[in-house]
Amino acid sequence: MSRKLVFLSTAFCLAIFQLSAAAQTSSQKESTAATKPADAPAAKPGTLESRVEQYLRNLYAWGPKYTVKVGPSKPSPIADLLEVPVTVSMGEQSDTAVVYVSKTGTFLLRGELTDMSVDPFAATRSKLHISGSPSLGPENAKITLVEFADFECPSCRQLDLILRNLLPQHPEVRLIFKDFPLTEIHPWAMTAAIAARCAYQQSPAAFWKMHDAIYDAQDVISPSNVWNKLQDLANQQGLNAEAYQACIINPQTAAKINATIAEGHEVSVTGTPTTFINGRRVVGADKGLIEQSIAFDPGLY
């Protein structure tokens, strides 16, 4: 059984340091060989960091098998609070979070500090690149929906069906498609991404036809027939066969897809589909949340 150390969030963004039940069960089976690494010395006795470590060890029963590194503390945006990083690890598993501690060492806040004077989605939007990716809708659209998706992902196909029906009702929305093939679990996802990118190279309209055709054929595509199926779909869309084949074998095609994967990592995409509606994250094919995010007008509040 795998062991996982997690910092879980609760309502109102108050985070709780907690080990999963599986981790606690598994840890009892581990030998006592796990020791503190040389680069994670214990906090000096009497310091604020030492007080935080003692408190958290007591709160979560982190015994000697657990390495807890606290600090160094630094000033936070709130004058009376210090920002204190905490890393807890056991064996090869570890997790890191931040707590806020009063300068007197009396109070500890487990949570996320948010500056309400700034747009909460501005930082995410600045990391999302609009140009160079397939898009539908006006360039001056009021709402931009950036979708990170995988052609082999069943939930992505479900989202595609939702968007096919939803977007025609919302001319104020521009859809930007970003490849995010999960190659560890979807063996033909990268191949499909390359094929769709090669359709895009010939024309934006050809991309969307190929995009829809791949999702529609998802159930009949397999690792063993993917090249033939995609070639058939390309022929059906009227793609230039010579240009298509040259694009398929060009390493720059895969490089462009890897660039969108890296972009997804920059905004903490870990699964598909993940969409950003004017920067607001929606995970999964959740029609209700997507409609809610499209309809929300921050100017009214």
Evaluate whether residue 42 is within a structural domain: yes
Q: What is the pLDDT of residue 274?
A: 97
Residue 116 domain flag: no
Phi, psi of 186 (to 5 degrees): -120, 95
Residue 217 lies in a domain: yes
Residue 115 within a domain: no
92 in a structural domain: yes
- 19 within 8 A of 1, measured Cβ to Cβ: no
Residue that terminates a domain, selected from 77, 110, 143: 110
pLDDT of residue 163: 97
Picking from 110, 140, 159, the residue at the C-terminal end of a domain is 110
276 and 296: one domain?
yes
The alpha-carbon radius of gyration of the chain (Å, integer) is 24
Say yes or no: 146 and 252 in one domain: yes
- Shared domain for 82 and 179, answered yes or no, is no
As for how many domains the chain has, the answer is 2
Model pTM?
A: 0.74
Q: Is residue 10 part of a domain?
A: yes
**Domain extent at residue 98:** 5-110
DSSP element (H, E) containing 126 = helix 122-127
Residues 173 and 291 in one domain: yes
pLDDT tens for each residue of the chain, 301 residues long: 333 444 433 322 333 333 333 333 333 433 333 334 444 455 566 789 999 999 999 988 898 889 999 989 999 999 999 999 999 998 888 888 899 999 999 999 988 888 899 999 999 999 999 999 999 999 999 999 999 999 999 999 999 999 999 999 999 999 999 999 999 999 999 999 999 999 999 999 999 999 999 999 999 999 999 999 999 999 999 999 999 999 999 999 999 999 999 999 999 999 999 999 999 999 999 999 999 999 998 877 7
Regarding whether 225 and 77 lie in a shared domain, the answer is no
φ/ψ of 210, rounded to 5, equals: -65, -40
Rounded Cα distance between 129 and 257, Å, is 13
Indicate if 139 and 49 belong to the same structural domain.
no
Rounded to 5°, the CA angle 262-263-269 comes to 90
**Rounded Cα distance, 260 and 180, in Å:** 7
Q: Do 250 and 219 share a domain, yes or no?
A: yes
Q: Are residues 188 and 75 in the same domain?
A: no
Cα separation, 128 vs 263, in Å, equals: 7
* In a shared domain, residues 153 and 215: yes
Element (H, E) at 274: strand 274-277
- Same-domain check for residues 67 and 133: no
HSE at residue 155, side-chain half, CA atoms within 13 A, is: 17
Q: Is the peptide bond before 273 cis (omega within 30 degrees of 0)?
A: yes
Do 197 and 168 share a domain, yes or no? yes
Residues 156 and 48 in one domain: no
Nearest alpha-carbon partner for 221 in 251, 193, 249, 188: 188
Residue 52's nearest CA partner among 9, 79, 82, 80 is 82
CATH number at residue 189: 3.40.30.10
> Does 192 fall in a domain?
yes
DSSP bridge partners of 102: 81
Q: Mark which of 76, 110, 144 sits at the end of a domain.
A: 110
Alpha-carbon distance values, 11 to 8, 111, 276, 280 (Å): 10, 10, 22, 18
Is 183 within the bounds of a domain?
yes
